[in-house]
Amino acid sequence: MASVSSDEWRAVCDKFTNAQNLTVVESRNDPENDPFRSKYKARELLREIYCTLKSFEAGEGEEESGAESGEQRPPEPAVDGQREDGYDRGLSGDSPAGLRAAKLGAVEYYLGVNHVDTEELSAGQEHLMTCMKLLERCGVSSENVSLFIHVRNQLGILSAGWDETEAAQGFLETAESIYQRYLKEDGSPPTDMTEYFTTEENLLTHQERTKRFELAYTHTMYYLAQVYKNLGETERAATYCHSTLQRQLKLNQFSPMEWALNAATLSQYYITKGQYMEGRHCLSAATVISDLAGEVPSEAAAQESETEGERREQLRQKRAEIARCWIKYCLNVLQDSKKLLGDSIGELDTDRQEELKTARRREEEEEEKGRKSALLFGSEDTFDSIASLEEKVRCLLPLDFTEARAVFLVGQNYVTQAKEYFQMDGYVTDHIEILQDHSALFRALAFYEEDLERRCKMHKRRVDMLEPICSDLNSQYYLMIRRQMMFELAEIYNEMMDLKLTLANRQSDTESLDNHTVNKFNHLCSASTKYFQMFLDSLCSPEGKIPEHLEEEVLRPALVARFRVARLYSRLITSSPAAQLENLDKSLEHYKYVVQYCEAHPEATATVETELELSAEMVGLLPLQINRIKAKMVANN
Amino acid sequence: MRSKQKYEMSTIWIEEKHLLKFSRIELRGVLSVFFVCFDKTKTKWKRRKLKGMEFRVGAPVEGLLVFVLSLEGPSALSEHAKSEFKRVFQDLGVSVLSGASEGYNVCLFAYGQTGSGKTYTMMGTPDSIGLTPRICQGLFRSEDTFPDEQNSSRVEISFLEIYNERVRDLLGGGEQKKRASLRVREHPEKGPYVQDCKQAMDLLEEGIANRITAATHNHDASSRSHAIFTIQYTQANLENNLPSETVSKINLVDLAGSERADYHYCRDRLTEGSNINKSLVTLGIVISALAQNSQMSSSCQSINSMASEVDGSTVGSHSSSLSGGGGGGGGGGGGRRHCFIPYRDSVLTWLLKDSLGGNSKTIMIASQWNNWQHCEKTMAGMCLFR
């Protein structure tokens, strides 16, 4: 650039640096009622740069047109299959003309971003489109590829903001393919856009260039994830989120705790889709990376300094949250397996168990292949630690008690961890949710346990865990939670009752049950009834009136509760006919309620079909039984 | 469920022929928000009901009272308008107090852009006091009307500021420089509370107005923070010779200026709109939204799924014989997979949890022009927590 003196050029560079400084640094200090002050100043500077460049161009153009016209390749005509991505275009990226275009383009880019920042979106878009057009004539090269990608990122964001999701997708996917092709065909650290206006001495290192370039592409991935989500392609969105996380890790552009939490959250997405292998991988990586965040400051240190105290809180809380994500993993694995293995009445179907075990041997080979294709996290140091954590818990569904128990124990371990932070006093809701998860883990494990006595003991553990808490809670603040707990406790007692009954019947088919068993049995019945009744009472108004209309969320539980109570009353064992009569009367009352409610509210019928059918039958049968007993009583007197 | 809906409307005329209307709706179970847009260009007012903005807030909600009015900035108000507002305040204040004395929790939100008159509405100036001092006065006045000694009451007041998710006590005594932030916790008995927060007991009514205005000046960065003024009103009465206590909480919340882009309280997890988050810092939000959408179940429904799963037990056990096996529960039912999303509700939502669901009445005052979409989002964010 012989015609441009180095002084003039230096002036341009200075202006640019100033503009950047205003945009990034000074703008933070702008007052609230004039929030874009610095940015407007930056804009002026950028415009001046633009004019200066144009004048340089005018000057150079005359000089060069003679010299270069012969050498300049004519722009290639459109060829079949030519892609939009800018490759194979006329001007070479590193020719002087190409460089000029890139510089002008860069100024347009910065002007565009400036306008977007000051909320002048249309103007911003214009500048960005101009930038793109300037580059259109050039081929992609290491001098301009960064700009190629940045401008498309910005256009993608803009289009999305205007609900032109497909346009956004177009821009971003183009950026993606440019990046990939560049890496394949060239790969050298490309010029960063700020370098267009720096003097020789201030050029960036290769390392820094690469870092910025890769960061731009990471953003492309991230924006694509969001665009896919908006398009409803959640699977692709998740894959791109995964890639973003992966890149952050690989390029060392992450803060450990934040990354760990994001990975843990992503694992939850995978879990809801039943993709346990990916979920496990995310969770293991999250655990390993969270350890990188360092030691938790001690209690003493926390007392002394507020920042240490906060750090302690943060670290402990986030690690506890990761533990909770693990709990959900274990729970879902067990529950899914239970669904697979369960038969129509909810017992373990041994035939199906056999089937699945044979099928699994085939699956394990598949798993190996799957591994390779799935995206893996980590660098050399973390790879092993992640893998070793993964080995501790299976990702294939457990098919028998031993396997289930292994998963259960892992889950239980994380329960303990999580409860350390989420203590009752301070985190009531969280603490209880953890307990509910623990209870659910037991419940799932009980499914695999063949010995009914041991099964009962597991349910007893659940009761011991939940019962004391239910009464402690303020009924006003924790209405929802109390209801859940009451219902769950009622169901557990019901379950235990059924188990006791089965056990007793197995022991002695012909002999009658002994006193102890009868008492135990009745106790369980009453406990279950009590909690169902508490649940139903909680639905009543403060005066005690039964609601005429049940809200959707409580409709089915309320009717089921009635149904169960009815059944429980009819099952109570008593030798006195009078008491038996009383029980059956109550039972009938509740069965009738179910039938009557469904008659009055036809829409409710669908939610409780089975129960309604049985209730209707009982409403028919019970009166006969009641009359028989009455008759017997009269006869005996 | 809409059978109890009734609303009244009245018109207030202000100079320049701008209409100011408000509508009051009382509903059961469903929160419906009516907005009045104050349109300068036209002389007709626009009333918009936000369709599809019906939320279930907890379960049996005794009645949500939503009251919205659209105001202009205080300086533009004429004398006539000011006296009309007095009337409005009285009306509002009465609803608040009656709710509280019946034992309901009441929560009143003032929402709107900076400078649109929220603080004026809530606090007022020494010559023209706003809602909060009026409500306090009203509370003390109502006590004078208790006929016998049997009923007594206790009033506890606290005034907090939430800025950047940190809680500061504005009544915190002399050393105003102390900016230690307080922790928000949940207690099994007391519900959500702020640790170490000062509660002033039984301030004299003259004292209240002064304390409040002084505290409002401490409430700096007011456009970016939320201020919560809480009155805990305990009434002791004798019912059938048994002492009982009715405790109700009145929360008067002055929300941060709605034009601030970073609404913490508005971080709706069900992300809507196609706006792209630019910074990688928000990756967590995007992933949370993915997981949240896949799960699509709330804690309410976990009772439902519990009830569904125990289907199988009914088979084979309905015979009249008292023996009979029949399997226990378990199995069956296509349940959803439940996950845990590491997401913290904003401090504001957590503290006001008890006021936004279950046994409470919520009132919202929106002072803004036409961006009711933001208000929509706020209510959505608040009501769809958990």
Supply the DSSP string of A297-338, one letter for each residue.
Answer: PPHHHHHH-HHHHHHHHHHHHHHHHHHHHHHHHHHHHHHHHH
pLDDT of residue A523: 94
- Is residue A192 pLDDT above 60, yes or no? yes
For residue B355, the model assigns a pLDDT of 58
pLDDT of residue A69: 43
Chain B residues close to A163, C-beta within 8 Å: 274
Residues of chain A contacting B386 with CB distance shorter than 8 Å: 429
- For B285-320, the pLDDT digits (tens) are 889 888 888 775 444 445 665 565 444 333 333 322
- Please name the residue ranges forming H helices in chain B: 79-101, 118-122, 131-144, 205-218, 283-295, 301-309, 347-351, 372-383
- Domain membership flag for residue B328: no
Nearest beta carbon to residue B304 from set A163, A433, A557: A557
With contact defined as beta carbons under 8 Å apart, do A172 and A223 qualify? yes
- Does a structural domain hold residue B117? yes
The pLDDT of residue A176: 95
Cβ contacts (< 8 Å) between A621 and chain B: which residues?
320
State how far the Cα of A223 lies from the Cα of A203, in Å rounded to an integer.
29
| pLDDT, position A82 | 41
Report pLDDT digits (tens) over A266-314. 999 999 999 898 899 999 999 999 998 888 888 888 788 878 888 888 8
Same domain, A136 and A231: yes
Q: Chain B residue with minimal CA distance to A607? A: B308
pLDDT digits (tens, 9 = 90+) for A369-389: 666 556 777 777 788 888 888
Q: B207 phi and psi, to 5 degrees? A: -65, -35
For the whole model, what pTM was predicted? Answer: 0.78
* Three state DSSP letters for A28-97: HHCCCCCCCHHHHHHHHHHHHHHHHHHHHHHHHHHHHHHHHCCCCCCCCCCCCCCCCCCCCCCECCCCHH
What pLDDT, on a 0 to 100 scale, did the predictor assign at position A504?
Answer: 83
Cβ neighbours for A25, distance < 8 A, ≥ 6 positions apart = none
Q: Which of A516-520, B139-143, B146-150, B151-155 has the highest mean pLDDT?
A: A516-520
Mean pLDDT of B345-370: 58
Tell me whether residue A306 is in a domain. no
Is B31 a member of any domain?
Answer: no
Q: Between residues A160 and B30, which one has the greater pLDDT?
A: A160
Higher per-residue pLDDT: A440 or A83: A440
Percent of the residues in chain A that have a pLDDT greater than 70, as a whole number: 92
Mean pLDDT, rounded, for A43-60: 86
- The DSSP output letter for A397 is P
Mean pLDDT of chain B: 55
Do A620 and A566 share a structural domain?
yes
Collect all residues of chain A within an 8 Å Cβ-Cβ radius of residue B182.
none
Of A481, A499, A610, the CB nearest to B314: A610
CA nearest to B292, candidates A237, A624, A546: A237
**CA distance to B170, B351, B352, B356, per residue, from A477 (Å):** 25, 11, 10, 10
Q: What is the DSSP letter of A543?
A: T
A541 shares its domain with A552: no
Most confident of A70-74, B82-86, B369-373: B82-86
Q: What is the domain count for chain B?
A: 1
Asked if the model's pLDDT at residue A493 lies above 80, the reply is: yes
Q: Which domain holds residue A619?
A: 547-636
Q: Give per-residue pLDDT as tens, B211-225.
A: 555 666 555 545 667
Q: Do B339 and A32 touch (CB under 8 A)?
A: no
CA distance A571 to chain B (A): 6
Q: Is residue A262 within 8 angstroms of chain B, CB to CB? A: yes
CA distance B254 to B134: 15
> Can you list the positions of beta strands (E) in A281-435?
none
- The winner for highest mean pLDDT among A3-7, A140-144, B131-135 is A140-144
Do A499 and A428 belong together in one domain?
no
A55-59, A316-320, B19-23, B81-85: least confidently modelled range: B19-23
Please give the pLDDT value at position B208. 53
Using pLDDT thresholds of 50, 70 and 90, give the confidence band for residue B17.
Answer: very low
Whether chain B has a CB inside 8 Å of the CB on A30: the answer is no
Q: Chain A partners of B323 at a C-beta cutoff of 8 Å? A: 501, 505
**What is the predicted pLDDT for the residue at B98?**
73
- The per-residue pLDDT for A409 is 96
- Report chain B residues whose CB lies below 8 A from the CB of A436: 302
Distance separating alpha carbons of residues B329 and B332, to the nearest angstrom: 9
Picking from A271, A345, A551, the nearest residue to B59 by CB comes out as A551
Say what the pLDDT of residue B335 is.
59
**For A34-47, how does the pLDDT look when each residue is reduced to its tens digit (9 = 90+)?**
778 888 999 999 99
| Cα separations in angstroms, A34 against A40, A141, A355, A581 | 10, 41, 71, 82
CA distance B112 to A94: 54
ipTM: 0.84
Q: Does A43 lie at the interface with B, CB-CB under 8 angstroms?
A: no
Task: Classify residue B19: in a domain, yes or no.
Answer: no
Tell whether B187 is within 8 A of chain A (Cβ).
Answer: yes
Nearest chain B residue (CA) to A248 = B280
For residue range B156-202, list pLDDT tens digits in order.
777 777 776 777 777 655 444 444 567 777 888 877 777 766 665 44
Bigger pLDDT: B128 vs A543 = A543
- Predicted confidence at residue A37, as pLDDT, reads 87
Q: CB–CB of A551 and B60 under 8 A?
A: yes
Whether B191 is covered by a domain: the verdict is: yes
Mean pLDDT calculated for residue range A104-110: 92
Q: Are A497 and A607 part of one and the same domain?
A: no
One domain for residues A270 and A127: no
Q: Give the model's pLDDT for residue B66.
A: 36
| Angle (nearest 5°) at CA A571 between A565 and A573 | 130
How confident is the model over A219-254, as pLDDT tens digits?
999 999 999 999 989 999 999 999 999 999 888 888
Q: Which residues of B touch A610 (CB under 8 A)?
A: 311, 314
C-alpha closest to that of B1 among A79, A304, A603, A360: A603
Region A105-121: what's the mean pLDDT? 91
Q: Which of B180, B191, B290 sits opposite A229 (nearest CB)?
A: B290
**Closest-CA residue of chain A to B290:** A269
Q: Is A556's CB within 8 Å of B304's CB?
A: yes
B27 contact residues in A (CB cutoff 8 A): none
Both A284 and A429 in one domain: the answer is yes
User: CB of B294 within 8 Å of any CB in chain A?
Assistant: yes
- Domain containing B160 equals 61-295+341-385
Examine residue A321 and state whether it is found in any structural domain, yes or no: yes
DSSP lists the bridge partners of residue B65 as B26
Q: What does R_g of chain B's alpha carbons equal in angstroms?
A: 24
Q: Which of residues 418-437 of A touch B (CB under 8 A)?
A: 424-429, 433, 436
Q: Is A560 on the interface with B (CB under 8 A)?
A: yes
- Identify the pLDDT of residue A81: 41
Pick among B290, B299, B300, B302 to test the A interface (most A CBs inside 10 A): B290
**Residues 225-244, chain A, touching B (beta carbon < 8 A):** 225-227, 229-230, 234, 237-238, 241, 244
- CATH number for the domain spanning B225: value is 3.40.850.10
Long-range CB contacts (< 8 A, 24+ apart) of A55-64? Answer: A56/A1, A56/A3, A56/A4, A56/A8, A57/A100, A57/A104, A59/A3, A59/A4, A60/A1, A60/A3, A60/A4, A60/A96, A60/A100, A63/A2, A63/A3, A64/A96, A64/A97
Q: Do the annotations mark residue B113 as ligand-binding?
A: yes
Residue B246 burial (CB count, 10 A):
17
Token digits of residue A359 = 């099928």
Mean pLDDT over each residue of chain A, to the nearest integer: 87
User: What gap in Å lies between CA B355 and CA A477, rounded to an integer?
Assistant: 9
Give the pLDDT band of residue A218 (cuts 50, 70, 90).
very high
Q: Are residues A249 and A167 in the same domain?
A: yes
Q: Answer yes or no: do B185 and A427 touch at CB < 8 A.
A: yes
Highest-scoring range by mean pLDDT, A156-170, A194-208, A367-381, B61-75: A156-170
Whether residues A538 and A557 share a domain: the answer is no
| Residue A627: predicted pLDDT | 92
| pLDDT value for A73 | 45
- A32 contacts in chain B (CB < 8 Å): 223
Q: Is the pLDDT of residue A102 over 80?
A: yes
pLDDT-based confidence at A213, cuts 50/70/90?
Answer: very high
pLDDT of residue B263: 39
> Which pLDDT score is estimated for A585?
93
What letter represents residue A258's amino acid? E
B344-351 average pLDDT score? 68
Contact B342 A321 (CB under 8 A): yes
The alpha carbon dihedral of B98, B99, B102, B107 has a sign of negative
pLDDT digits (tens, 9 = 90+) for A452-461: 999 999 999 9
Q: Residue B177 corresponds to which amino acid?
A: K
Which of B278, B291, B329 lies nearest to residue A265, judging by beta carbons? B291
Query: Does residue B12 carry a pLDDT above 50?
Result: no
Determine, yes or no, domain membership for A232.
yes
Instruction: Look at A346 and B186 and tell me if their CB atoms are within 8 Å.
Output: no
Asked whether residue A117 is assigned to any structural domain, the reply reads: yes
Side-chain half-sphere exposure of A193, counting CA atoms within 13 A: 21
At residue B323, the pLDDT reads 21
Please tell me which residue of chain A has the smallest CA distance to B295: A272
Same-domain pairing of A496 and A594: no
Tell me the chain A residues in contact with residue B347 when contact means C-beta distances shorter than 8 Å: none
The reply to whether A532 and A552 lie within a common domain is no
Same domain, A491 and A515: yes
Residue B153 structure tokens = 């009451």
Number of domains in chain A: 4
Q: Which residue has the higher pLDDT, B23 or A373?
A: A373
Q: Would you say B351 and B96 are in contact if contact means Cβ atoms under 8 Å apart?
A: no
- CA distances, A535 to each of A226, A538, B227 (Å): 43, 5, 37
